[in-house]
Amino acid sequence: MKILSHYIHGGLTAAPSDNAQPIVDPATGKQTASVALATLNDVDAAVASAKAAFPGWSETTPIRRARVMFRFRDLLEKHQEEIAALITSEHGKVHSDALGEVTRGLEVVEYVTGIPNLLTGRASEDVGTGVDSYGLRYPLGVCAGITPFNFPAMVPMWMFPIAIACGNTFILKPSEKTPSAALFLAELLSEAGLPEGVFNVVNGNKVAVDALIDHSDVKAISFVGSTPVAEYIYARSSAAGKRVQALGGAKNHMVVMPDADIYEAADALMGAAYGSAGERCMAISVAVTVGDEVADRLRAALQKRIADLKVGPGNVASSDMGPLISAAHLEKVSSYVGIGSNEGASVIVDGRSAFSSDTSGGYFIGPSLLDNVSAQMRVHSEEIFGPVLSIVRSDTLEDAIDLVNAHEFGNGAVIYTGSGEAARQFTRQISAGMVGVNVPIPVPVAYHSFGGWKRSLFGDHHMHGPEGIRFFTRLKTISTRWPKSKPQSNQFSMPTLD
């Protein structure tokens, strides 16, 4: 059986069979390959390669770096079907969703093809007599990205294209559950003309993660995953003196107002709650209805749509929702339906019984819908990361905002309304990093930045867009003066620019 290994210094490494773990197709539960888990020596080799490549790559002009990104962009478009097929085979999401993932990653590559302009500094003439000042951004060195299983192409492409375009070298540690897309991207980068060592992939588990965090030659760590791991990586990396952006968990809410189009809101919730089997950090997992009548109408509209939703393998065209990533995660997600019922929620649709003949052997669960959920219930307070949607009933918009803001996470929040006044109040008062008005999943486009608030983000910088440029560079401010004659005496006072 095929063993996937690492991509170091421009090529695949030998794949040892004594330190590997299975890769499983979640639609069948069957092993399709194995992936080698990196040792400390593997991480050292990747860092050494990246460190050696940094001087030459950082001195490469931004326009030449941009040309590599242009070629990489063209290759991504040419091979997007192949990348999507790899994602579906290892993650399980339906093919159309996998294609969408590739597209959202490709948009970041398109953004950084403008790196000569994005790195343009600020300049001021005559800040003092004969003194000019300007600021420039410089690359950090060797950077690393640690990415989750649910977006094996998109999330890495939210990191490494910006880091590389800014002049850094990069080491990617993808999820060991979904490694193939990262290795494919590495091959495309080499084909695009990226020099050896500028981009490396090490597959592995916590051993590889800790090795990257602790390595003195790694200057920055970018992470997306669960909040406990994000907090761990932030604390340990910061203690090691590294720059860190660690994006954690979420519990995203959609507030539905009495003047909202219920059918539009229900359509939006179907994709936002159940798309990719709910395995998205920006999935809407709570609908907060303002008024009981809104809740009743929304629930009825959702029930009708859920009945028509087709669960099946991601590579089957008729499937709307694929499997979960693993047997362990299936057990976890399934348990929350029972937890909600035991805590007093009304189970309107129980996804645990939504199986069909073509889903045997895989990690499938149907969409679940719970009503009469309260803020104190675990189904509301904890991130489920599966297709379980809760309805929380609220009396007023103010109560709804208070409920959302009381949650420990602050990743995304959405309002569906026809009122500009309500939308403005919501967008100003809600404590979340990404906000939507009549937009079900408010993921920013590539030239804006992605990131949450509160315990959804550890670190000061959001991801991609202008924040991504700032994260992967450091500012140097330069003041220059060319006096016509030398000073007549020594100057010991604080200099002023008059």
| Tens-digit pLDDT profile for residues 204-250 | 999 999 999 999 999 999 999 999 999 999 999 999 999 999 999 99
Q: Domains of the chain (ranges plus CATH)?
A: 3-248+456-478 (3.40.605.10), 252-437 (3.40.309.10)
Band the pLDDT of 494: cuts 50, 70, 90.
Answer: low
Residue 18 is predicted with a pLDDT of 84
Buried b (16+ CB within 10 A) or exposed e, 457-466: bbbebbbbbe
Q: What CA–CA distance (Å, rounded) separates 385 from 283?
A: 8
**What is residue 468's three-state secondary structure?**
helix
* Per-chain mean pLDDT for the chain: 95
Residue 213 is predicted with a pLDDT of 97
pLDDT digits (tens, 9 = 90+) for 412-424: 999 999 999 999 9
Residue owning tokens 């080491």:
171
Residue 357 is predicted with a pLDDT of 47
**Residue 100 one-letter amino acid:** G
Q: What CA–CA distance (Å, rounded) separates 37 from 15?
A: 9
Q: What CA–CA distance (Å, rounded) separates 361 from 315?
A: 15
> Which of the pair, 136 or 357, is modelled with greater confidence?
136
Helix (H) or strand (E) holding 250: none
Instruction: Give the predicted TM-score (pTM) of the model.
Output: 0.95
**pLDDT above 70: percentage of residues in the chain:** 96
Write out the catalytic residue numbers. 281
